Chains A and B, each alone.
Chain A
Amino acid sequence: EVQLLESGGGLVQPGGSLRLSCAASGFIFSNFAMNWFRQGPGKGLEWVSTIGGTGSTTYYADSVRGRFTISRDNSKNTLYLQMSNLRDDDTAIYYCANSIGTGYWGQGTLVTVSS
């Protein structure tokens, strides 16, 4: 059974940093690109970032480029999102997801940016 379990969310002050993790199981992790999405309060879904299976290719939304870094450790079957210089509008539930079309998403972790 495929499982994706996010962790690392919490309350952080504007300008602060946070690292999200997504522990994957039930599939050959290194074979799949992985994604981060988010949904802010009262807002729609937003794609954040994608990383290829080997970790050598990464893509970012303009809203997070230069502040967020996606990475993965295939030996640990874990996906990461390092978030820095956080802003109020980064407040959201963050979801990790397998490749588009597989339909596998985690349950999300809440990030709240507030002073």
Chain B
Amino acid sequence: AIQMTQSPFSLSASVGDRVTITCRASQGIGNDLSWYQKKPGKAPKLLIYVASSLQSGVPSRFSGSGSGTDFTLTISSLQPEDFATYYCLQHYNYPYTFGQGTKLDIK
């Protein structure tokens, strides 16, 4: 199975900060990577698909980049509603695998 190593595990930041979360795949996955935001009691929300495409309705402060094995999610200017846990997901082959998650909280 492809392992997704996500970092950091947790991150404290302030409103207005720029933050970057990374995922590294244990083998090349092309651009078959998505990013999700998860809040307690809510379904995961798709932010980015095929590594860099912004899902409809998602604010443009979210962006994704990378291909092959190294990927990043960037939030250009944190807003209060962005404090949540973020996950990457590879869907290059089965079993699909998530990163461990990055909990983003308020500094």
Given contacts A95-B44, A101-B49, A107-B43, contact A44 B94 (CB under 8 A): no
> How long is the Cα–Cα vector from A50 to B94 in the complex, in angstroms?
9
> How long is the Cα–Cα vector from A59 to B96 in the complex, in angstroms?
10
Q: Which residues of A contact B100 (CB under 8 A)?
A: 44
Given contacts A100-B89, A103-B49, contact A108 B43 (CB under 8 A): yes
Separation in Å of the B77 CB from the closest CB of chain A? 23
Total number of B residues with any Cβ neighbor in A under 8 Å: 24
Provide the main secondary structure of the chain B interface. Answer: loop
Are A47 and B34 in contact, with the CB atoms below 8 A?
A: no
Separation in Å of the B50 CB from the closest CB of chain A? 7
Separation in Å of the A63 CB from the closest CB of chain B? 9
Are B50 and A45 in contact, with the CB atoms below 8 A?
A: no
Say whether A89 faces chain B, with CB atoms less than 8 Å apart.
no
Are A101 and B50 in contact, with the CB atoms below 8 A?
A: yes
Given contacts A44-B87, A108-B43, contact A101 B34 (CB under 8 A): yes
For this complex, 11 residue pairs linking A to B, each with C-beta atoms less than 8 Å apart, are A37-B44, A39-B38, A44-B100, A45-B44, A45-B89, A62-B95, A95-B44, A100-B96, A103-B45, A105-B45, A105-B46
Given contacts A44-B98, A61-B95, A105-B45, 8 further A-B contacts (CB under 8 A): A37-B44, A45-B36, A45-B87, A47-B89, A50-B96, A62-B95, A105-B43, A105-B46
